[in-house]
Structures are given as structure tokens and as C-alpha cells.
């Protein structure tokens, strides 16, 4: 068992980390950090648990620590659910202190020697850990992308063998993506908001790095363009997106690619049977019905039509955040970086 911690364990993504790590076969949850206000309390009391899944009683007695590298002495690996403005310093300190960092924060995602990884898509980018170590970092920082970018890149994985140069994507994103307190009820009931700060830029930038080629020294960005329109919709969990990709081939070939594609990763606890699942029904995927497929780790695809157009959907705080980061860690362990 590898001893792990969660940074920012009381927020929306932090609670998902705790839920998914409680009972994990390889990772033992031993440190949970939060703001000073929560430090010293039992996690049970500090968390004010707000997931629809019952509280994992086993970890309820862990005393919440302050979010500092000192609190993390006994762990080998930390998962970071910190907001971007807080993540920078403590994540770097952890990495320098020999701790592996799997971060959901955006701070280091675009750094040249930090892997931005969706394992089914670009696990080879983990080779950048060697670059970090060459520079004297004992631990490492590995990041997962922004939630909507994860759904998009998973959906693109089966399409890599096709020729295309232009992607347009309109997202319809769930409110949990903004955190528990992020969006007032009055702002989103009977409504949608056609704006999510920085989200379009993240999708356009991160997708190219993830789909890019890593030659052992640096990433060459993928040679296509991405244009995103991001919308917040009144859905609790599950980011949907309508995607156009200028593939000239027939619909049938694209459908077949979605149906037959399989990840080449080994068997891992958090890897679903199908990372990409093509649903052969006229009105799917739908967030409430499909987001828990593969325990929330499957990206569901549907409605391939000429254009090529298709619909993709996945659970934003599992596949798109905490689960993504944990899967990264499982691949990292499997490849003996830890």
C-alpha cells in the first residue's frame, strides 16, 4: 500500500478524491489537508460532506491538516484538489521534498516539463517525469487536464487514425464543476450561462498538448485547431458536448472507430472496462443516465452524423477530475515512477 494524501480535501473535487480513495486497493489515505479553518478537526466534522454517496466512515476520524508540505511527511503521493492560486507553491514544495504530486489544478499544466496526461490518450507523456528528475526534483508533478478537455480528448482517442484539422466543440457543463459554492441557485435555475471563465482557452490549449507528440525532450503540439463555446447548464454532474470534427470519411467508419477502440493500458483499479463507450440509441448520451458508467470513468459517445458531428459526455468530477488524477497515479505506479 502506498500512503497518500489529498490537498484541499473538503471541496467538491476533494470530496470526490476521498470517496474514490476510500477502499482503494493500492493507495492508503493517510493525510487530508484543508484550510486553516478546518485544520485540527476530524474530517467527518470538517468536510460537511455534500456528495450524494454516503460518507466513507472509515476515513472520518482522520484529523485534517493544514495544507503545508510539513503535514505530508508520511505520504509518498498526494492528490491535489487545490484551487489554481493556492496550488503552485505547495505542489512544488511537495515535489522537491520527494513526494509525487498528481494534480487537478491548472497551475503547472502547460509547463514544458510537466506531463498533462489522460492515460488512455498520452500515457507516454509521463516520460517528462524523467525531465523533472534530471533537474533535481526527487518527487514529480503530473497534471490532469481541465474536466471538459478530458471528455474531449477521450473522445478523440479513437479518431487519431483519421485525418482532420479543425474541431469545434460546444459544451454544456454541470454545476458541480464550479465547486459546491460556485454557482448560486438563483443564477442557474431555469437558466443557462454561456460563459465559464478561462474554460474555452483551457480546452483549446490543453487539447493540443495532450494530443501532441512527446519525443523524450519536448511536446510538439497537435497540428489541428480547437474552437470552444462553453456553457453552464442546470445539470448536477456530467459535462456534455456537441463536437464537429472535419473528418471526410464516412459516418460508419467513425462509428466503428468509437465502437472498437480500446485503450492499451494494463488492468488498473480505476480504468473502466470501456474508456469510450458508443451508445447506439438516438438520444444518448445523457448525463443522468450515463455519467455513472464505468463507475464514472467512461466517456459515452453517441449520435455520429455527417459533418462529422457527435455527442460526448462524461462525469466531470470523477472522469473529469478526481478519477482522472487517480488513474494517472495508477499508471505512474505501474510504470515504476514511484
Catalytic residues: 147, 239
Which one of 130, 217, 236, 250 is in contact with a copy of itself (CB under 8 A)?
236
Pairing mode, if any, of strands 77-80 and 2-7?
A: parallel
Complex with a copy of itself: residue 115 or 238, whichever CB lies closer: 238
Q: Least distance (Å) from a copy of itself to the CB of residue 234?
A: 5
The residue within the footprint of a copy of itself, chosen from 39, 86, 242, 274 (CB under 8 A), is: 242
Site string for a copy of itself, 8-47 (x = CB under 8 A): ----x-----------------------------------
The residue whose grid cell reads 483519421 is 162
Site membership for a copy of itself, residue 250 (CB under 8 A): no
Does residue 3 interact with a copy of itself by CB under 8 A?
A: no
By C-alpha distance, which of 23, 20, 11, 22 is closest to 47? 11
- Cell 473529469 -> residue: 320
Buried b (16+ CB within 10 A) or exposed e, 265-298: eeebebbbebbbbbbeeeebbbbeebbebbebbb
Interior angle at CA 220, CA 146 and CA 145, nearest 5: 10
Please identify, among the stretches 96-104, 125-133, 140-148, 297-305, the one whose residues bind a copy of itself according to the rule CB under 8 A: 297-305
Query: Under rule CB under 8 A, which residues in 181-210 are in contact with a copy of itself?
Result: 181-195, 200
Neighbours of 142 (CB within 10 A): 25
Question: Distance (Å, rounded) from C-alpha 174 to C-alpha 171?
Answer: 10
Q: Is 235 in the site for a copy of itself (CB under 8 A)?
A: yes
Cell reading at 83: 484551487
Residue with cell 533537474: 135
Give the binding-site size for a copy of itself (rule: CB under 8 A): 58
The region of 23-31, 34-42, 74-82, 227-235 touching a copy of itself under the rule CB under 8 A is: 227-235
- Residues, the chain: 338
The residues of the shown chain that bind a copy of itself, judged by CB under 8 A, are 12, 49-54, 168, 170, 172, 175-176, 179-195, 200, 227, 229, 231, 233-236, 240, 242, 244, 282-289, 291-293, 302-303, 305, 307, 309, 311, 313
Amino acid at each position: 500500500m502506498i500512503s497518500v494524501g489529498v490537498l484541499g480535501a473538503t471541496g467538491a473535487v476533494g470530496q470526490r478524491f476521498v470517496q474514490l480513495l476510500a477502499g482503494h486497493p493500492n493507495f492508503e489515505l493517510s493525510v487530508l489537508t484543508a484550510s486553516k479553518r478546518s485544520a485540527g478537526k476530524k474530517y467527518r466534522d470538517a468536510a460537511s460532506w455534500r456528495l450524494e454517496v454516503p460518507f466513507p466512515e472509515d476515513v472520518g476520524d482522520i484529523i485534517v491538516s493544514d495544507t503545508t508540505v510539513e503535514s505530508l511527511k508520511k505520504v509518498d503521493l498526494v492528490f491535489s484538489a487545490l484551487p489554481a492560486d493556492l496550488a503552485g507553491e505547495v505542489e512544488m514544495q511537495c515535489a522537491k521534498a520527494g513526494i509525487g504530486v498528481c494534480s487537478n489544478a491548472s497551475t503547472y499544466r502547460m509547463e514544458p516539463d510537466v506531463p498533462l496526461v489522460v492515460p488512455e490518450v498520452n500515457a507516454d507523456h509521463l516520460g517528462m517525469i524523467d525531465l523533472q528528475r534530471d533537474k533535481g526534483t526527487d518527487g514529480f508533478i503530473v497534471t490532469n487536464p481541465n474536466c471538459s478537455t478530458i471528455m474531449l480528448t477521450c473522445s478523440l482517442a479513437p479518431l487519431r487514425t483519421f485525418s482532420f484539422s479543425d474541431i469545434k466543440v460546444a459544451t454544456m457543463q454541470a454545476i458541480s464543476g464550479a465547486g459546491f459554492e460556485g454557482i448560486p441557485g438563483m443564477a442557474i435555475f431555469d437558466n443557462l450561462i454561456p460563459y465559464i471563465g478561462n474554460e474555452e482557452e483551457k480546452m483549446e490549449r490543453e487539447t493540443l498538448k495532450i494530443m501532441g507528440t512527446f519525443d523524450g525532450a519536448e511536446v510538439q503540439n497537435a497540428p489541428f485547431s480547437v474552437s470552444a463555446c462553453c456553457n453552464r447548464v442546470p445539470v448536477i454532474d456530467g459535462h456534455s458536448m456537441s463536437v464537429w470534427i472535419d473528418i471526410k470519411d464516412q459516418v460508419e467508419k467513425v462509428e466503428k472507430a468509437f465502437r472498437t477502440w480500446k485503450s492499451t493500458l494494463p488492468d488498473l483499479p480505476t480504468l473502466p472496462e470501456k474508456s469510450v463507450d458508443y451508445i447506439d440509441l438516438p438520444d444518448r448520451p445523457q448525463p443522468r443516465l450515463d455519467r455513472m458508467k464505468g463507475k464514472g470513468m467512461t466517456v459515452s459517445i453517441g449520435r455520429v452524423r455527417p459533418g462529422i458531428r457527435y455527442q460526448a459526455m462524461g462525469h466531470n468530477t470523477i472522469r473529469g477530475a478526481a478519477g482522472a488524477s487517480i488513474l494517472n497515479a495508477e499508471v505512474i505506479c505501474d510504470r515504476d515512477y514511484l
